[in-house]
Amino acid sequence: MSDELALDFSPFIKVYKDGRVERLLGTATVPASIDPQTGVQSKDVIISTAPLISVRLYIPKSTSTESTLKLPVLVYFHGGGFCIESAFSPTYHNYLNSFVSEANVIAVSVDYRLAPEHPVPAAYEDSWAAVKWVESHLAGTGPEEWLNRHADMNRVFFSGDSAGANIAHHMGLRVGSEKLACFKLKGIVLVHPYFWGEEPVGGELALAESVRKMVPDLWKFTYPLTCGSDDPLFNPGKHPKLGELGCEKVLVCVAEKDSLKDRGWYYSEVLKKSGWNGVVEVMEAKEEQHVFHLFNPSCDNAVAMLKKIVSFMN
CB 299: neighbour CB atoms within 10 A?
14
Mean pLDDT over 143-150 rounds to 96
Query: DSSP code of 199?
Result: S
Sign of dihedral through CA atoms 143, 148, 151, 156?
Answer: positive
Position 70 in a domain: yes
Is residue 9, in this structure, part of any structural domain at all?
no
Q: Which amino acid is at 160?
A: G
C-alpha to C-alpha distance for 212 and 204, rounded to whole angstroms: 8
Cβ proximity of 162 and 218 under 8 Å: no
Residue 179 has pLDDT above 80, yes or no: no
The pLDDT score that the predictor gives to residue 65 is 62
Residue 45 has pLDDT above 90, yes or no: yes
Residue 189 pLDDT = 98
In a domain, 13, yes or no: no
What CATH number does the domain containing 105 carry? 3.40.50.1820
pLDDT of residue 66: 65
Q: Is residue 71 part of a domain?
A: yes
For residue 151, the model assigns a pLDDT of 96
Closest listed residue to residue 54, CA positions, set 69, 66, 43 = 43
Residue 4 inside a domain? The answer is: no
Are the beta carbons of 172 and 158 closer than 8 angstroms? Answer: yes
State the average pLDDT over residues 268-291: 98
Residue 242 domain boundaries: 29-313
Q: What pLDDT, on a 0 to 100 scale, did the predictor assign at position 240?
A: 96
pLDDT of residue 181: 62
H or E element in which residue 79 lies = none
10-24 pLDDT tens trace = 999 999 999 999 999
Per-residue pLDDT of 54-109, as tens digits, reads 999 999 998 866 677 899 999 999 999 999 999 999 999 999 999 999 999 999 99
Residue 272 has pLDDT above 80, yes or no: yes
Does residue 76 lie in a domain region? yes
Residue 120 has pLDDT above 80, yes or no: yes
Where in the sequence numbering do the catalytic residues fall?
162, 258, 290
Average pLDDT, integer, range 115-132: 97
Kindly state the average pLDDT of the residues 264-282.
Answer: 97
Confidence band, pLDDT 50/70/90 cuts, at residue 143:
very high
Spatial separation of the C-alpha atoms in residues 43 and 32, rounded to whole Å: 5
Residue 44, in any domain of the structure = yes
Percent of the chain with pLDDT over 90: 94
Is 53 part of any domain?
yes
Check residue 165 and give its pLDDT. 98
Tally the domains of the chain: 1
Compute the average pLDDT of residues 259-287.
98
Share of the chain above pLDDT 70, in %: 98
